[in-house]
Structure 1
Amino acid sequence: MGKLTTHVLDTAAGKPGKGIRIDLFRMTESGRALLGTYHTNADGRCDAPLLEGEALSRGSYELLFYVGPYFEQSGLTLPEPKFLDEVVIRFGISDEGAHYHVPLLISPYGYSTYRGS
């Protein structure tokens, strides 16, 4: 059974990104459709897959991570406007039976992602 998961790691602090809001969208011909809003737990992960089983279908998706409030709550003093406030990752799902893991590694001035397992 296929599924979509994510997690956030704060590479500057060396810890999981706790309490980060994530919106999941499916890309459509007219723009995008919100599928759900999630928050990371103390381990920087969501408590359940964002999509799984029949809900996971071929197509293009977008994850929107609200990292600005996370950095504010962590006690960092950053100049305004923040260099990173929101991080968007747009990706495709081609195999409905596969596990798609989309991690986000963040710092106040950069981020990285990859297809994990």
Structure 2
Amino acid sequence: MNGGVSIHVVDVASGRVAQGMGVSIGAVGQASILEGNVDERGLLPLLETLGVCFGVGVYEVRLQVAAFYRARGASIADTPFLDELVYRFGIGDAREHYHLPFKLTAWGVSCFRGGA
């Protein structure tokens, strides 16, 4: 795969993909390129078709962590530890693919550039 971004989200508390979690991605200070929900594969659908939208620049992924856990019946405080998680990353070479594998719980997150 040349260029573009992919996102994979796993709820490590349950050991399953975070199906249904709201996610958006876009360049900092601009409208979202894509908004949607994590699918049954753990991916943000249609993102793989939008590679041309990702040039050199700084981007943000926004994950709706608290809403996801509340929808699953988790007891989340009114002021949650992780509410909307904003992950800012840079693309230095638009010809390369940037894979972001998020591993999270209501209390923490791990992400790195995968597949590089």
Question: What TM-score results when the alignment is normalised by the length of structure 1?
Answer: 0.87
Q: State percent identity of aligned pairs.
A: 30
Alignment of 1:1-117 (within 5 A): 1-27=2-28, 31-49=29-47, 51-52=50-51, 54-117=52-115
Quote the Cα distance in structure 1 between the aligned partners of 2:36 and 2:95: 22
Q: Kindly report the root-mean-square deviation, in angstroms, between the aligned alpha carbons of the 2 structures.
A: 1.4
**Which stretches of structure 1, 4 residues or more, deviate above 6 A after TM superposition?**
none
Q: Which amino acid aligns with 2:55?
A: S
Question: What TM-score results when the alignment is normalised by the length of structure 2?
Answer: 0.88
Q: Which amino acid aligns with 1:26?
A: A
Give the superposition deviation at 1:36: 2.1
Report which of the two has the higher share of strand. Answer: 1
Unaligned runs of 5+ in 1: none
Q: Which amino acid aligns with 1:102?
A: L
Q: How many residues align?
A: 113
Give the superposition deviation at 1:33: 3.1
Quote the Cα distance in structure 2 between the aligned partners of 1:75 and 1:43: 22
Quote the Cα distance in structure 2 between the aligned partners of 1:11 and 1:114: 15
Q: Which amino acid aligns with 1:20?
A: M
